[in-house]
Amino acid sequence: MELTVTKREEKLGKLRRDSKIPCIIYGAKEPAEQIAIDRTEYEAILRGLEEGQILTTKFSLKIGKKTVKAIIKDIQYHRTTYNILHIDFLRLSDDIQVKIKVPIRFKGAADCEGVKQGGVLKQPIRAVRVQCFPKDIPNEMYLDVSDIKLLHNKSLSSVKIPEKVKPLLSLNEVIAVVAKR
């Protein structure tokens, strides 16, 4: 995803009135830079993403004549309006591993045996923190839940994790469970 950014020189209030989101980009052993992005452009990108994918989306930030690859590390929201107040971008370098949360999606939920037996499919963990190089960042990982019976579960070890991605959570953690209603 491409975003055009500007160096941040104005005060925060003026930036927000001008429909800009103040941001910072840091990491990859380079100095931090204060930047701003256009709120409308950012929200258009958000509408095209599935829930949970914003933290695994790689951005190409155009700062003047240079382009920086980055991912979102943190988003700060207003407490009552939920408007975005600030975004932290993590600069990516091909030779430095990153730690990132990757969403887990279910396959076969409509065919789940335990649900057909009257149970409810629950997902206690919706995303798994992993470590990998930027080129290996998965957008999401999948778990087939079609064969889970009532009162049974599946753990992270059942998720197909790409070879070059290291989960930072125990493989015994429960990802899906079919509970009684």
Superfamily classification of domain 2-91: Ribosomal Protein L25; Chain P (2.40.240.10)
Q: Which residue has tokens 């953690």?
A: 173
Q: pLDDT category, 10, cuts 50, 70, 90? A: confident
pLDDT for 63: 87
Residue 144, burial from CB neighbour count under 10 angstroms (0-12, 13-18, 19+): middle
Q: pLDDT category, 11, cuts 50, 70, 90? A: confident
pLDDT above 90: residue 9: no
Distance CA 171, CA 69 (A): 31
| Average pLDDT along the chain | 94
pLDDT above 90: residue 181: no
pLDDT in tens, 138-165: 999 999 999 999 999 999 999 999 999 9
Q: Please state the pTM of the whole predicted model.
A: 0.86
Task: For the chain, give the number of residues.
Answer: 181
Q: pLDDT category, 13, cuts 50, 70, 90? A: confident
Distance CA 162, CA 140 (A): 10
pLDDT for 16: 86
The reply to whether CATH 2.170.120.20 applies to domain 98-179 is yes
Both structure tokens of 96: 């430095």
Closest CA to 23 of 89, 68, 91, 67: 89
According to DSSP, residue 148 is labeled: P
pLDDT in tens, 39-87: 999 999 989 988 888 989 999 999 888 999 999 999 999 999 988 999 9
Q: What are the domain boundaries of the chain?
A: 2-91, 98-179
Percent of the chain having pLDDT more than 90? Answer: 83
